[in-house]
Structure formats: structure tokens, C-alpha cells
Amino acid sequence: MLSLLFFIVPQARAFQLETLGAKNLPATEVPAAPDPGRPASSKKWTVLIYVSARNNLGLEAIKDVNEMEAAGSTDRVNVVVEMGRIKCDPPFNPFASVQEPLPPQADWTGVRRFLIKKDSDPLTINSPALAYYPDADMGDWKHLAEFISWGKANYPAEKYLLVVGGHGSGWRGVKPPPGAPKGISYDEVSGNHISPAELAQAIKAGGGVNVYASDACLMQTMEVIYELKDSAEYIVGSQETTPGSGYNYEVFLKALAAAPGDAFSAAQSIMKGFSEYYGSGPQQQSVTMSIVRPAHAAEMAAKMDKFARLVAASPADMKLYHDKKFGLRSYDDEDARDLYQLMKLYYDNTPTPAVKEAAREIIVLLSEKLVARNDAVGYKSKDSNGLSVYFPIFYMNYKAKYEYLAFSAATYWDEMVKAVVESKK
């Protein structure tokens, strides 16, 4: 279990925007933290959105904030955003005589916080900029934790939903070893990222949230869910890579404002802005998105530990993986397996009754408790059942840094995976 770290961060302050190369962004003073003696806010939800576009997503991030403004904060929902960006040019199209123009406000860099106000301008961010950091590290988990704490203090509500957006790569952001190049919330300026363990630390240090969602690729893995098992009631994410445009925030936030119910209802609002959005119309694409209950992650880890020990002790079951592995679906992370499909492979084919029963227990827990909803949209998403797990195809793909994960420390999964893949060198 991760220890809770306490730290001191400087109070965010608003800078003069005319010095920042973006005079047309309105500024306000950061509101003071609420008096603990005052009545609690009547708002149902505060949505905290942390978008790292200090990378090649700088143009998409501006579009995202304009989508948020199409919905806006309401009398029941606060929408508070931190966006960091660097300058990006539209991609060059060699087949077009006229290239895509730069959108308005694409000239600024650094990190800003916004209270999202509703407007009908699809190109210009008109919401007040509450604070500016010239060079905040979006890949620093302590900065994310401070944003969560700041947002909750200044915009209190009955429940909280956190979205972290940017590039993502699931468990591969594990630290150590030093310099591991993967994670979530990539910051190309600092060269840093937030690892799965640091993501959990940030949420805990910020006081926790009711719903956590990754607007990023490849984050819905058993390893990440295990790290976040004490962080939220529901976790929303994708097993696969996601379109560059990510969530449709207008659809998501309007759905939440229309029915700001419990945490599961809020999680389903995110699905409307992603899997349901990409599942129809001219934007139709193959995507995956699921809602997971992390409270069951420890129970699942125990069952996977049992399964792993049985397989590692059975040469026939180690061979079975190699005999059948090419029938398993693959993702952009070629070493990620769909957990349900993997267990079904063993349930249907194992010669060992104990392994068959262990696989059945995982299937039941996965489908009845752990995964609350799974959307696999489009033909490319076939056999995606809501949660992935690491199981390389070839022995040379095994990464020793996998052993640094909390999931690996808690289970025999890493030892089993290594034994299986090395059994066929």
C-alpha cells in the first residue's frame, strides 16, 4: 500500500496576461479558499480536468477546452481545467493546396487554470484564466496533487471527478528504473511523466475523488487499476489507443449536467462523450472504453496470484500459452492481452482442473464485479472485455521493470509470465 506523502507547494497566482503573448485570454484573481465554517456548496459535482499538452497535443488541447465551453459550468456542475501546452503547427498535408490554419490563441506556452464558462464560440477560449505557471512540470505528480487540492478547496461540491489527459501508455510508466520513458501526462519540456504509482499518490494527496478517468491511450490495465485501488469509486479508461481528439467534452459535460447523479452515473456520462460518440455518425471509429470498480482489485489480484502459481507449476499449461497465443487479440501495446479472453483460453483448453477452476473464478469476478461497463465499438475492438494485462508474445519482449509494480510485488504474475515466455526461447 502506498504511503501518503505530504508536501508544500507555492500558492498559484495570476500573472498579467499581456506579458504572456495571449492578451485576449481574460484573467481573474484566484478565489480564496472557502471558510470551513461556511455551508457546503450546493453544487453536485466538480469536474477537475488536467490536460498535459506540453507535447504534440497542443492544438487538440485548445479544441478540447472549446468543447468544454460549449457545455460550461452550470448551477450544478463546476468545470475547472488546468492546461499546459507548447506551440504546435498543424500537420502538413502534402495533398492539400491550402494547409490547415493555426487556431486562435495557439501562440501561448506554459500552464493555465480555467473556470469553464459557457459560450458559443467554437474557436476562442473565453473562460477566465485563474492562474498562470510559466514553466510548471505537468509530469510532476506533486503538481497534479496541488491542482486537485486547489480545485476542491476553491470549487467545493458533493462529489469530484478527475480527468487526466494527454499521452498514456498504461503500466509502462513504472519507476524505477530511472529514465523509464512511459506513463501518463507526458511533459516534453521537462522530460518527465507521472507513473501509475505517482498517479495514485497524487489522487490520495489531493484527498481522493469519486471518479477517475484517463483521457489517454492504453491506461485500462490490471496493473494500473491495482495501483489506483484506493483512489476512486470508479475508474474509466481505454484498453487501446484513443483518437487524438480524445473525449468529446461537450457531450460528456452536457450529459453530466443533465443528470448529475451518483458516481456510476457520472462515469457513464464519460462513456457518452467517448464510446457512444465514436460509435456513430461521421466520427465513427473502433474504440474501447470501460468502467471499472477498483474496490475489487485486491480480490482480483489474489485470484490472479493463484492462477499464476498453478500455471507456473504446470509445463503443459505453460506450453498451452505458446500453442494458442496467436489467437489472442493484440493492441497497440503488442504485449497487452485482454484478461477475459486470456482466461477463456485457459478455461477452454487447459488439461489441469485446478487451472480451469482458477480461470473460471477470474472470469466470474471480472464480469460480475470488477468491470461495471464495457464498450468495445467497431470491428477492430472485437474481444476487448474491459481490462488488459501484461503477457508478452515473445521472451525478448519481457521487460524487467515490470517487476517494480505494486501488482507484481503482490502477486506471482510477473514470475509466471517470465517463466512462460522463457520456456520457449
Could you tell me if 287 and 317 lie in one domain? Answer: no
Cβ(128)–Cβ(31) under 8 Å? no
Amino acid at 283: Q
Cβ(351)–Cβ(399) under 8 Å? no
pLDDT confidence of 186, banded at 50, 70, 90?
A: very low
Domain membership of residue 1 (yes or no) is no
Return the exposure string of 255-289: e unless at least 16 CB atoms fall within 10 Å of the residue's CB, then b.
bbbeebeebbebbbbbbbbbbbbbbeeeeeebbbb
Cβ(159)–Cβ(45) under 8 Å? yes
Domain end (from 292, 316, 349): 292
**Average pLDDT of the residues in 3-13:** 31
Q: Comparing 101-110, 120-129, 197-206, which segment has the lowest mean pLDDT? A: 101-110
Could you tell me if 231 and 270 lie in one domain? Answer: yes
Q: How many domains does the chain have?
A: 2
Could you tell me if 338 and 246 lie in one domain? Answer: no
Domain end (from 292, 327, 360): 292
Predicted structure pTM score: 0.86
What is the reported pLDDT for 61? Answer: 80
**Average pLDDT of the residues in 5-34:** 36
C-alpha 52: how far from its chain's center? 12
Could you tell me if 276 and 327 lie in one domain? Answer: no
390, β-bridge pairs: 336
- The fraction of the chain above a pLDDT of 70, given in percent, is 81
Could you tell me if 80 and 220 lie in one domain? Answer: yes
What is the reported pLDDT for 52? Answer: 80
Could you tell me if 413 and 388 lie in one domain? Answer: yes
Could you tell me if 245 and 279 lie in one domain? Answer: yes
- The fraction of the chain above a pLDDT of 90, given in percent, is 61
Could you tell me if 181 and 287 lie in one domain? Answer: yes
Could you tell me if 284 and 334 lie in one domain? Answer: no
What is the reported pLDDT for 166? Answer: 73
Could you tell me if 85 and 99 lie in one domain? Answer: yes
CA atoms of 93 and 90, how far apart (whole Å): 9
Domain membership of residue 3 (yes or no) is no
Domain end (from 259, 292, 325): 292
Cβ(369)–Cβ(203) under 8 Å? no
- Here the CATH number for the domain that contains residue 114 is 3.40.50.11970
Domain that holds residue 50: 17-292
Could you tell me if 351 and 336 lie in one domain? Answer: yes
Residue 23, pLDDT > 80, answer: no
Could you tell me if 285 and 351 lie in one domain? Answer: no
Domain membership of residue 4 (yes or no) is no
Q: Which of 80, 84, 109, 119 is nearest to 20 (CA)?
A: 109
Q: Comparing 54-58, 196-200, 258-262, 331-335, which segment has the lowest mean pLDDT? A: 54-58
CA atoms within 13 A on the CB side of 164: 36
